[in-house]
Amino acid sequence: MKILPAIDPIRTKSLTTSELRAAFLLENLFQPGAVNLVYSENDRAVIGAALPVKESLLLPTAKELAADYFAQRREIGVLNVGGAGQIGVDKNIFDLANRDMLYIGRGAKEIVFSSANAAEPAAFFILSFPAHHSYPTTLMRFAEAQAVHLGTPEGANQRTIYKYIHPGGVQSCQLVMGFTQLQSGSIWNTMPPHTHSRRMEVYLYFDVPENARVFHFMGQPEETRHLVMANRQVVISPGWSIHCGAGTGAYSFCWGMGGENQAFEDMDAVGMEQLR
């Protein structure tokens, strides 16, 4: 398992484009027939993807976790951004359509990913944090997620936030997870931006057309940086960093957080006049 060290804001200011991408951007998590996992020292998050095609894929543990099995001391959120698939958790089988999410509680020993159709494989985005308590493994359908409509046509930011794993939805220890879908003609997300020093956040951009890109903004408000991102790429956002973006067209992104609390509204707003 690749380990990404936590990078402080002072060093971030001096990174070249390639160094910035290496430190915060995960470009190739989704690989056919493979499970890929990355360990971030930011709140000990594990970020990964499973893309089963013909064969089922087992979620492995790793020596870096020093655990007998992956979820021995961890909880997991999984969003399907591909075709129909299944996740086996010990003796239970969960069917996931596109945009369905599964919460897997601490203590699950065997986790297996599979696709219903190899021609249209499932694509599972995986986000995991340490857990101090075991909550039930729970499937939430896209239609069951709490939907919050935000933005205006004038601001080019009409979007719907779908909340799955949060205090008002699926229970967890510290994981908060959902996704945001922008309407056609809207490109901006999370602008004006914010930080939340008590939690880190991870973005997976998906449903980005092949010839389109998302410009993801990060860094301290007075020293912003940007990353140019393509479909199914992931960015790590430390607690000190803003996280917002603009695309060359509409797109969706999965957001997941872990840290000191689960309050979705716990954020420190950044005024537009503060941005540099």
Residues 6+ apart with CB under 8 A from 233: 25, 26, 27, 29, 204, 205
Q: What are the pLDDT digits (tens) for 159-202? A: 999 999 999 999 999 999 999 999 999 999 999 999 999 999 99
Please give the pLDDT value at position 220: 97
Buried residues in 214-237 as b, exposed as e (16+ CB within 10 A): bebbbbbbeebbebebebbbbbbb
In this structure, are residues 39 and 3 in contact, taking their beta carbons and an 8 Å threshold? Answer: yes
CA–CA distances in Å: residue 48 to residues 100, 233, 271 = 17, 11, 33
Please give the pLDDT value at position 59: 98
**CA atoms of 74 and 93, how far apart (whole Å):** 20
CA–CA distances in Å: residue 213 to residues 27, 77, 216, 246, 247 = 13, 26, 9, 9, 6
Which CATH number among 2.60.120.10, 3.40.50.620, 1.10.3860.10, 3.40.50.720 corresponds to the domain 8-274?
Answer: 2.60.120.10
Q: What are the pLDDT digits (tens) for 105-142? A: 999 999 999 999 999 999 999 999 999 999 999 999 99
Q: Which helix (H) or strand (E) holds 24?
A: helix 17-24
Please give the pLDDT value at position 16: 97
**CA atoms of 177 and 141, how far apart (whole Å):** 13
Task: Tell me which amino acid residue 273 is.
Answer: E
Please give the pLDDT value at position 157: 96
Q: What are the pLDDT digits (tens) for 61-92? A: 999 999 999 999 999 999 999 999 999 999 89
CB atoms near residue 136 (< 10 Å):
9
| Closest alpha carbon to 208 in 157, 250, 158 | 250
pLDDT band at 265 (very low <50, low <70, confident <90, very high): confident
pLDDT > 90? residue 255: yes
In this structure, are residues 146 and 153 in contact, taking their beta carbons and an 8 Å threshold? Answer: no
pLDDT band at 263 (very low <50, low <70, confident <90, very high): confident
**Summary mean pLDDT of the chain:** 96
Please give the pLDDT value at position 69: 98
Q: Which helix (H) or strand (E) holds 11?
A: helix 9-12
Q: Which two tokens stand for residue 114?
A: 């599979």
Q: What are the structural domain ranges in the chain?
A: 8-274
pTM for the model stands at 0.97
Please give the pLDDT value at position 125: 99
**CA atoms of 186 and 124, how far apart (whole Å):** 26
Work out whether strand 199-206 and strand 233-237 pair parallel, antiparallel, or are unpaired: antiparallel
pLDDT > 90? residue 264: no
pLDDT > 90? residue 146: yes
Buried residues in 82-108 as b, exposed as e (16+ CB within 10 A): bbbbbbbbeeeebebebbbbbbbbbbb
